[in-house]
Chains A and B, each alone.
Chain A
Amino acid sequence: MKKSDQAILKVTDLHKQFDQTEVLKGIDLDVYPGEVIVIVGPSGCGKSTFLRCLNGLEPINSGRVELNGQVITAPGTDWSLIRQKIGMVFQNYELFPHLNVMDNILLGPTKVQGRKKSEAKAEAESWLERVDLLEKAQAYPRQLSGGQKQRVAIVRALCMSPEVMLFDEVTASLDPEMVREVLDVMLNLAKGGLTMLIVTHEMAFAKAVADRVIFMDQGYVIETNTPEAFFNNPNTERARKFLNIFQFEGVHKVQ
């Protein structure tokens, strides 16, 4: 863990409910610069909702979120500014279908940040090069595979120069053979020191990329642990049960 002095993101006692049901029941989490946090947990435990509360896509009911010491869940927050610092990539391919790859990427830098097109384009090209998609710059989303779309979506978020990136099951809708190419991009970002919160069901990837693993269940953080400890010998019974889902008993018993 690369703990430096101040948390980049500090979540305190975060509660969130939809109608009458409480989905997040008091989440506490500090994220330090350069840290990669992987969030795992059964379906419906509130992982997506948690990420969406961090960039204001969902309003919260109580508690608070601070970004670099500034409380962003207070009324009057300019979410446009915050979202430029907290990027997000979703599970569904969410490229804009009427814009080609380059225009998808440039929309944020030019229309939100008001940067010069030529300069933003140069940056976009260097990112596309790094994810092996430079030759697709003029292609439309419909001409891309799922894995390519997700890599573009990641580049699009990165070109806003975010301080933190949120990934919500970005490989969950992909065909198995495309999962790897997207996870490799994320692994490289982790090596590059980007601060990331990743929700995933890819346990091998989680183990490889995480500095810290957060296990959530029914709206609570049940366990926070190092990846080695969490995957080999979790502290809690619930985490153990959860991890068992990903294990298969051998059919042919080997003596």
Chain B
Amino acid sequence: MLDSAISIFTSGRNMARLGEGLLITMRISLSAVGLSIILGIPAGLLMASKSKFWRFVLRFYLEFIRIMPILVLLFFFYYSLSKIFQINLPATFVSIFVFTLWGTAEMADLVRGAVTSLPKHQWESGRALGLREAKLNMYVIVPQAVRRLLPGVINLTTRMIKTTPFVFFINIPDLVKVAQQIVELAGMRNNLASVWVYGCIFLIYFAICYPISLFSTYLEKIWQT
């Protein structure tokens, strides 16, 4: 029985292909998370600001993205846009774009929540000590907001990693897509193939996401406020 497992992973380039699939999964999700954090912070600060205009625009954007299934966004940007504008957008680009669209909305909401949840007297006692706005933000507000942000960002990261398999539908050979191809091929000779291959995928996702959540628990502990 174990032989059947070993033969799948050793035959052909199967192992290497799984590795490549994993790289694609990680590249898409981490690029999207990185971009979402960069874009989401200013967006979130605007959502927490006094500007009615920005609050309305960003709130609308957030709600819109939230009700839209990711798959619809992927198909829309991959198939429809290329038809309309007669351009072929590379699938990886489209997927990073779509996931960033989603991640930025979520990140902005996290930043907004972190900043507005700080008690008002944190600003006041800082000011009462003579701190000017820049230093007040640097030493008092941002460090506390980051601590409040952390669980949400970690959660967003693992959700992003877990959602990338959707790129399967626009033919990107991510981890899950590769696994499926291997199972299809090996499954003709080996009826346990799906167990071994998907079991392996299972462990890989666990091995990626679990340390991330352990890390966040650790940070929360040392930052406990």
Contacts and interface: CB of A to CB of B under 8 A. Distances in A.
Contact of A90 (B121, B135, B225): B121
A57 interface: yes
Interface string B114-132: 0000010110111111111
A241 interface: no
Nearest to B143: A98
B140 interface: yes
B124 A98 contact: no
B205 to A, nearest CB: 33
A94 B139 contact: no
Given A98-B143, A98-B147, A156 B129 contact: yes
A160 B130 contact: yes
Nearest to A96: B140
Interface residues of A, number: 27
Nearest to A105: B129
B213 interface: no
Nearest to B129: A108
B144 interface: yes
Contacts of A112: 129-131, 135
Interface string A106-120: 011001110000000
Interface of A: 55, 57, 79-81, 83-84, 87-88, 90, 92, 94-98, 107-108, 111-113, 140, 142, 153, 156-157, 160
6 contacts: A57-B128, A92-B119, A95-B125, A98-B147, A111-B135, A142-B224
Interface of B: 119, 121-122, 124-132, 135, 139-140, 143-144, 147, 223-225
